[in-house]
Amino acid sequence: MAVVVRSLGGYGMSVVAADILRILAMPVLAQRDSFIRLAEVISALTYALDLTEGQRPGHTLRTALIAMRLGRELNLDGEAMGALYYAALLKDSGCSSNAARMTALFGSDDQAVKRDMRLVDWHDRWTLAMRTAKNCGVGRNPIARVSHFLRIARTPSMTREIIQTRCERGAQIALVLGFPPATSEAIAHVDEHWCGLGHPAGLAGDEIPILSRILLIAQTLEAYWSENGIDAAIDMTRQRRGRWFDPRLADLVAAWKRDRDWWAVLADTAHLDQAALALEPGDTPLHATDERLDSIAYAFAAVIDAKTPYTARHSTNVARYAVGIAMSMGADADMCRDTLRAGLLHDIGKLGVSNRILDKPAKLTDDEFAEIRKHPRWTWEILERVTAFNGFAQEAAQHHERLDGKGYPWRMEASQLGLLSRVLAVADVYEALTADRPYRAGLAVPSVLEIMRRDRGTAFDRHVLDAAAALAECGTFVELAEGRDDPFPQLREAPAKFIRIASVA
């Protein structure tokens, strides 16, 4: 691989950083000719949200199909149907923000807890207590399990707190991506119950936005149907009619029981993506412009990094470092654009890894390492679903491969690794070593470069590492990490308040 590293000698530290930040801030670097549907991009990425929620693949898309049928039967207008469609696709976009908290409280895998607890009727206190106990400290000794259960029992506002965090963040993401306020509002109140005992605001009856009422019954119906079949799902809606669900919606759903063709559509996983795309409202599909694609990449980077407190800016920093390296090596506009998006999304597969592993302060076991090593495969599987990301999906997933073939998960060798994967490998390790982790504080730049240079030519490409070292030593990486001009800085901070508080217990 022949590359030419541009000399940085004529640049001052701030000039180099400013050039890189200016490129990152440009709304469009290069328009590409093909028309890409916005719905296709977001629907493909919902598989990442299903991972972190512990749901079966396609949960979000099936929820969207259910919600859109309810919307049609209610004769919602076109504007409301559009808001509902994207609310259904983005309803779980805030789900990673409560993963660490769930793991800390339950002492169990967050995905397993979320999947199991979604099936519980919260209003049945005995059943709720038994299911909570079952999910506490799974795999641990009895004392630890009891300790976690008592901790939850002594936190009366725990459920509302966890749901509020997820709902607020999801609502915020929908808003900053440019969807209508009704989409954001629907997500913010998706867990309100008809009787007023839901969360986070305790709204009741017609106080709850109609789109939120639809989403609640749609996602709960899908979860029950996936786990227990049609009869159990319909029985559940009847039992919760007038408590969880708007009676009118529960009655509509009950009438679907014998509609076998309808349930067959939900069960057809081979054509699920097409079925969801076919429901996009409006005469003209929304266009995923380059600017929108960047926005989606930044938003999902925030979803990824919110999963654990130790990666608050990991994806954004990796993307910035990688673009800086690529620019210094003569990359053109298209390469910079792909590098930016690949850096932002390279860890999307980590949404499928339990926080019990990600946040563990001690050394990982062999089994835990094996779980961690699955995330590049998931990254590839998710990104290759998105037509606009096909060009870099594979290289984004290869960020843990090494030139000497000792990386993971595919143990690829130098001849199989392109420039983008080599750049991401360096940027990823540099960011990880300089950032704080559960088991150590971030290392100083000289120490990081000393460590990485030991693997120059074996793990890391020589030219790429030299370019990164030059940017690190002149202070450019520090400036890039301190930059706060990404499109959605609010997604890095505490979520704004979208919840209409009616009463707080």
How far apart CA 417 and CA 400 sit, in angstroms, is 11
241 phi and psi angles, rounded to 5 deg = -60, 130
- Pick the closest to residue 46 from 109, 11, 93 (CA basis): 93
Instruction: State which H helix or E strand residue 379 sits in.
Output: helix 375-383
- Are 189 and 203 in contact, with CB atoms under 8 Å apart? yes
Half-sphere exposure of 388 (CA within 13 A, CB side): 30
Whether residue 183 contacts residue 234, with contact meaning beta carbons closer than 8 Å, is answered with: no
Structure tokens at 177: 């991506």
Query: 409: closest CA among 387, 430, 394, 429?
Result: 394
Find the catalytic residue in 350, 363, 406, 497: 350
| Residues β-bridged to residue 241 | 245
Whether the CB-CB separation of 383 and 395 falls below 8 Å is answered with no
CB-neighbour burial class of residue 132 (10 A; exposed 0-12, middle 13-18, buried 19+): buried
Task: Look up residue 93 and give its amino acid.
Answer: S
- 3-state helix, strand, coil split of the chain in percent (to 5) is 65, 0, 35
Distance CA 381, CA 336 (A): 23
The letter for the amino acid at 164 is Q
Clarify whether 350 is annotated catalytic: yes
How many whole angstroms separate alpha carbon 425 and alpha carbon 417?
Answer: 10
The C-alpha atoms of residue 343 and residue 314 are separated, in whole angstroms, by: 9
Q: CB within 8 A of 441, min separation 6: which ones?
A: none
Q: How far apart are CA 331 and CA 496, in angstroms?
A: 38
Q: Compute the distance between CA of residue 331 and CA of residue 147 in angstroms, rounded to an integer.
A: 54
CA proximity to 170, closest of 141, 200, 149: 200
Residue 456 dihedral angles phi and psi, to the nearest 5°: -65, 120
Catalytic residue set: 350
